[in-house]
Every structure is written in structure tokens, then in C-alpha cells.
Chain A
Amino acid sequence: GENVEQHPSTLSVQEGDSAVIKCTYSDSASNYFPWYKQELGKRPQLIIDIRSNVGEKKDQRIAVTLNKTAKHFSLHITETQPEDSAVYFCAAIPGGSYIPTFGRGTSLIVHP
């Protein structure tokens, strides 16, 4: 089955810095890669996703890049703000499966 590795487990940055979270996957059939943000005590919520036919996608301060050959994808947050502090999860979903495999999560702390 699919295996998703996520790094780092904890990331501490100063407000205004950039943050990068990386994930690798094992199943070459995976073709959909969502990223979820979970604030303390809240539910995970989708913040951005990318499909395997695209190399990069941006939405304001966040972007995701995908390297299918190397089987890794990354989340980039620029100009971080304290409200970006949360746990971020990556996931990989094989085509036709609908079943996601989640990474273990990255706790992002943005210091004012």
C-alpha cells in the first residue's frame, strides 16, 4: 500500500519568514495530493491540493510543488503569520481509490 513520509515533525519560524514542509510517497499510482491544516482543537481543513498533471499550484501565500519522478511534494508558506500556527498534514490518494494515506503531520509554530 501507499506510504507517506512527512518532514519535519516540528517547524519553528519567525513571523515573516517562509516555511517549507516536505512529503514523499511510495505508490506511483497516487495522483491527488491534498494538504490539510488543523488548528488546535479543531478539525482538519483542506488548504490546497495538487493533481499529478500539474507541477505547481499557488494560492496567495501558499503553494504546493510536485515532483512525480522523485515522488515528493512540498508545501510552501511565505510571509508567515502567527495565525498560520497549526499542524499541517499531507496526503496521497491513488487514482480510483479515494482512500488517502496521511503523513504524520508537521507542527508549525510562527513566533511574533
Chain B
Amino acid sequence: DAGVIQSPRHEVTEMGQEVTLRCKPISGHNSLFWYRQTMMRGLELLIYFNNNVPIDDSGMPEDRFSAKMPNASFSTLKIQPSEPRDSAVYFCASSLGELEQYFGPGTRLTVT
């Protein structure tokens, strides 16, 4: 298996633009997580899907952030409009139930 796949790996955009991050979980995994990592706040859970259904989105910062999982093999995290404070590394991770989470390589987002 290729592991968790994320795209793009790097994204540089201007404030106010829409940003879409993509994730393909490991085949057969039924849980998917989106995290944001910054030096100031560490690793934060944004949203958790189980069997394609959002279970906990309490970590989503505000209405500018939205996430979808239309099927078991694809998820998106969208920021609209983006702001400089959204600059961070965004990780997607998948797992089978409560077992080990496998992280993707991350997307480094820079908003200028």
C-alpha cells in the first residue's frame, strides 16, 4: 500500500483565496482525521470521520473551514477565505478503528 496520500505537498496562496487540501486514506481504513500543526499550538485535531461520516468537528477553527468525505477513499479540507494565521502543516491520518493512526506526508500551507 502507498500509505496515506496528500496533495498538494506545498501550497502558497494569497489571503482571501480558497484553498483545498486533499487526502486519500489507506484502503480498508474506516477512520480519517485532519490535523493542523504549528509551533505555537502543536498538533491539533480539526475533524474526525468514521465510515465517511463526520463524528467530531469541534476542532474546526471557524466557518471558514469545511471538510468532506464523499467516499471511503477521498477527503477534502477547504479553507475559504484563507488568512495568514492559517499557515501551518496540515496532516491527514487514517486508521482501522482505534488502532494505529498512519499519517500522510502533510501539506505545508503558506498564506501571504
Q: Are A and B interaction partners?
A: yes
Residues of A within 8 A of B (CB): 32, 34, 42-46, 49, 89, 93, 95-102, 104-105
Chain A residue with the shortest CB-CB distance to B43: A102
Count of B interface residues, CB-CB < 8 Å: 18
B35 nearest CB across to chain A (Å): 9
Q: Tell whether, in the assembled complex, residue A34 and residue B100 are in contact, meaning their CB atoms are under 8 Å apart.
A: yes
Residues of A within 8 A of B97 (CB): 98
Q: Tell whether, in the assembled complex, residue B91 and residue A43 are in contact, meaning their CB atoms are under 8 Å apart.
A: yes
A67 nearest CB across to chain B (Å): 21
Give the complex CA separation of A39 and B61 in angstroms: 27
Residues of B within 8 A of A (CB): 31, 42-43, 45, 48, 50, 55-56, 91, 95, 97-98, 100-101, 103-106
A90 nearest CB across to chain B (Å): 11
Residues of A within 8 A of B105 (CB): 42-43
The 3 lowest CB-CB distance pairs between A and B, nearest first, are A43-B103, A104-B42, A102-B43
Residues of A within 8 A of B43 (CB): 44, 89, 102, 105
Residues of B within 8 A of A97 (CB): 98
Give the complex CA separation of A57 and B99 in angstroms: 16
Give the complex CA separation of A46 and B100 in angstroms: 7
Residues of A within 8 A of B55 (CB): 99
Query: Taking A93-B98, A105-B42 as contacts, is the C-beta distance between A98 and B103 under 8 angstroms?
Result: no
Residues of A within 8 A of B100 (CB): 34, 46, 49
